[in-house]
Structure 1
Amino acid sequence: MAVERIVIIGAGQAGAQAAVSLRQGGYKGAITMIGAEEAPPYQRPPLSKAYLKGDLDEARLYLRPAEFYESQEIALHLGVHATGIDRKAKAVSTDDGETHLYDALLIATGAPPRRISAPGADLTGVHYLRTLADSDSLRPMLAAPGRVVIVGAGYIGLEVAAVARQAGREVTVLEMAPRVLARVASEPVSAFYESLHKNAGVDLRLGAAFAGFEGEGRIHGARLQDGEVIECETALVGIGAAPEVSLAVTAGLDVENGIIVDEHARSSDPSIFAAGDCTNFPSPRYGRRMRLESVPNAIEQAKAAAANMLGNETVYDALPWFWSDQYDVKLQTVGLMEGHDDLIVRGDPAEKKFAVWYLKDGKALAVDAINDPASFAMGKKLIMTGATLDPAKLADTNVDLKALA
């Protein structure tokens, strides 16, 4: 059956990339994109960094100017929520009363922040960060009096802590784990970021058992389970994200830690694809299923989904990579460290320029490069080629990385 109508649920990075890729691939049919926010598709990473600081205006966040979608005949339905998928009728209903018919459907609904269920979670001044509106509502704290408490020492929490400290705010970060970035980074990387934030004046509490927020109408404190109350005027909750799968569940698609898709980004319904943070996909490279929250994953999986909606059999197997900006430090990560049997630190963390290499059977699995773009670039190459590496030479900064290839 010819694909004449494609509907995309989600107007984020994956949804926008899919629409662009469809047109670049020569697709002439109808494309409808449904987005819950009023803004056209935009970049999310700057929301906790440059945009939050005020260094980047809203228009520069947009992935494409609004006119682009009109010129490409991509129908944007913004400020609208998809409310249901009728697989039999191949129709998507929305909360403005419309029904959008499809021959192929892409779900790109992302992964919103996990909500906290502690007492006081609904007080004014308690924030989450995912959308433009979230960042806009958080920004006044940079110029306001009083302490900022951040619950969770993941990337979002630490990035906001850095921005707040650079704006002169007093900041306390509460982390239940014994180290920061415990879920995604190794001990040397965690230790570096702990020192970085403490040296910047952040009150970093590790192994901190959070109990709830206090206040009447507005937050005035964060209480720990040992009874201590930390006075604050603003709080950010950054305890991870959960894939948005409610539409998929209601539609009867296979779901487990994300929408289950195959290597072609196709769901359990052959007419429905999914891409980005909301998917659970098989990685030929790593030989297991995974769910990734990253811009590069959203972009590359959306490209594969677009190609396959047009009848191709493109296998999605991109090498994962990520980044984070905090203070004057850029972290670039390539690959996934899970399963490594050797860890090599190349360079001196005290100099704020080093890389942590993760090896398995002598081959590079992943690299965390901190202010070290050369290690990031070479890490990509060495992971892709599967070259066997000499750990002693890898650790020796006098040995040119290019000589290891």
Structure 2
Amino acid sequence: MSGIVIVGAGQAGATLAETLRSKGFDGPVTLVGAEADLPYERPPLSKAYLLGDMARERLYLRPEAIYSEKDIVLKLGQPVSHLDTAAKTVKVGGEVLSYDQLALTTGSVPNRLPAAIGGDLEHVFTVRSLADIDRMRPFFARNARVLVVGGGYIGLEAAAVAAKLGLQVVLVEMAERILGRVAAPETADVIRAAHQAHGVDIREGVGLERLLGEDGVVTGARLTDGSELAVDFVIVGTGIRPDTRLAEEAGIGCDNGIAVDEMGRTSASDVWAAGDCASFPYKGGRLRLESVQNAIDQAQAVAANMLGAGVPYLPYPWFWSDQYDLKLQIAGLNTGYDRIVVRKTDDAVSHWYFRGDTFLAVDAVNAPRDYMVGKRLLEMGRSVAPEVVADPDANLKALLKP
């Protein structure tokens, strides 16, 4: 019996494998991962792990023994080099594995700087894998000079760790402001102020022209405003893209990720996809989510559907970011908003996104109650009056009552 093969041993792949077992599947399950480490959490990489507050073992989703107990075969450190959907086989190293059903949970890969502008110099790092963090951690010495390229969450989190450890940090964002694609100006203002208070030199509307180097090692950077910086290393936080290489080479349909239907099926027979790599139908279009929550929820849904559940996947997006003493929690998707309502109480602030009178999403900064209420309202399909949100004396929890 060929059983089920899962390609990609991240959060989605590990969740899918365990869900198959918890739902009673007793056939062979093989989890294949390109990295040598056991499946692990990625969010702490640019936070607690980089800071040195989390041991490597604590990153692992499960001890190795758990996979043995659940009869999940691990093939780690072995990338899949070929997928044949007609023969229903994958090539892993020198071995060919047959499958009855295949799940692609290949995740995403970081965007890198082009070699033409110095991206191939040594001491230029991305923030995606354990190996990435292990390579850069020795450079986090007090007063070391680091350039962070990109003002999204990954770049900002890395900048926060560097600042806390006493490095000299310059962050450049070529767009007009940080978090331009994902958060309102009001949220960006709070995050920017925190970084500046910790000495981070944030330069918005300024891009990287090229990196400068000697003997193949980065030594500086020339920016688009003509200025030059001396640097000891560079962190590239310019986003990620879905890892669709294997699917594309196999002729599987892709559309901003591996395209799946509402059940998680790809265009190839008996091939499914979940997590960062998958785009799925959503409100008349297609959506791809890069979050732990989506990786877990979608993997659980796909596992159930591989076993015949036939239940469409309905996402309830939420995200978070830790920077300094700020905990940013986000619920919903702010796409298409035309109004921001600010709710401020004590040291907490939340920004509520509306399109007309329809509540879309909330960014909560050190405001866990606001986040919890906003998240529950979205899950319940309820809106809220903007004037109620704006009233700091209003009891938002009352909105959750039947």
Same-fold status (TM-score > 0.5): yes
Q: Which category of TM-score, normalised to the shorter sequence, fits these structures? A: over 0.9
Q: Is the 8 A contact 1:210 1:223 kept in 2?
A: yes
Instruction: Using structure 2 for the length normalisation, give the TM-score.
Output: 0.96
Matches of 1:116 and 1:333, distance apart in 2: 29
Could you tell me how far 1:114 is from its partner in structure 2?
A: 0.7
Once the two structures are TM-superposed, the CA of residue 339 in structure 1 deviates from its matched residue by 1.6
Among 158, 171, 174, which residue is 2:172 paired with? 174
- Give, as a single letter, the amino acid of the residue that structure 2 aligns with 1:366: A
Aligned position for 2:122: 124
Give a deviation string over 1:194-237, Cα, whole Å, max 9, x none.
11111111010000021111111211111113332111101000
Query: In the alignment, which of 42, 45, 48 is matched to residue 47 of structure 1?
Result: 45
1:356 corresponds to 2:351: yes
- % identity of equivalent residues: 47
Give structure 2 stretches of 5+ with no counterpart: none
- Hey, what's the Cα distance between the residues in 2 that align with 1:84 and 1:156? 31
Cα displacement string for residues 329-376 of structure 1 (whole angstroms, at most 9, x for unaligned residues): 00110100112232211006xx64111111234232111111111011
Q: Which residue of 2 aligns with 1:390?
A: 385
Post-superposition, which runs of at least 4 consecutive aligned residues in structure 1 deviate over 3 A? none
2:309 is aligned to 312
* Deviation by residue 1:76-129 (Cα, 9 ceiling, x = unmatched): 0000010111111100012x2001100100001111101111422111110001
Aligned pairs, how many? 398
* Letter of the structure 1 residue corresponding to residue 342 of structure 2: V
Match of 1:377 in 2: 372
2:344 is aligned to 347
What whole-Å deviation, never above 9, does each CA across 1:39-65 have from its counterpart, x for those lacking one?
Answer: 010000000010011111111000000
C-alpha spacing 1:314/1:19, structure 2 compared with 1 (3 Å) = same
Partner of 1:321: 318
Q: CA deviation at 1:387?
A: 2.9
**Structure 2 matches for 1:2-401, cutoff 5 A?**
5-94=3-92, 96-117=93-114, 118-143=116-141, 145-216=143-214, 217-283=216-282, 286-347=283-344, 352-401=347-396
Amino acid at match of 2:161: V
**2-structure distance, mates of 1:307, 1:27:** 10
| Contact 2:370/2:396 (8 A) holds in 1 | yes
CA distance in 2, matches of 1:159, 1:50: 10
Q: Alignment partner of 2:240: what SS? A: coil
Unaligned runs of 5+ in 1: none
- SS in structure 1 at match of 2:335: coil
Say if 1:297 and 1:388 are closer, same or farther in 2 by CA, change over 3 A.
Answer: closer
* Residues 2, 98 of structure 2: 8 Å contact kept: no
Q: Distance in 2 between matches of 1:387 and 1:18?
A: 31
Q: What one-letter code is carried by the residue in structure 1 that aligns with 2:260?
A: V
Q: Which amino acid aligns with 1:295?
A: V
Measure, in 2, the Cα distance between the counterparts of 1:80 and 1:314. 32
Shift of 1:250: 0.8
Amino acid at match of 2:352: W
| Rounded Cα–Cα distance in structure 2 between residues aligned with 1:52 and 1:22 | 33
TM-score for the superposition, normalised by structure 1: 0.96
| Residues 176 and 31 (structure 1), Cα distance of their counterparts in 2 relative to 1, 3 Å cut | same
CA distance, structure 2, for counterparts of residue 89 and residue 387 of structure 1: 48
Q: How large is the Cα RMSD of the aligned pairs? A: 1.3
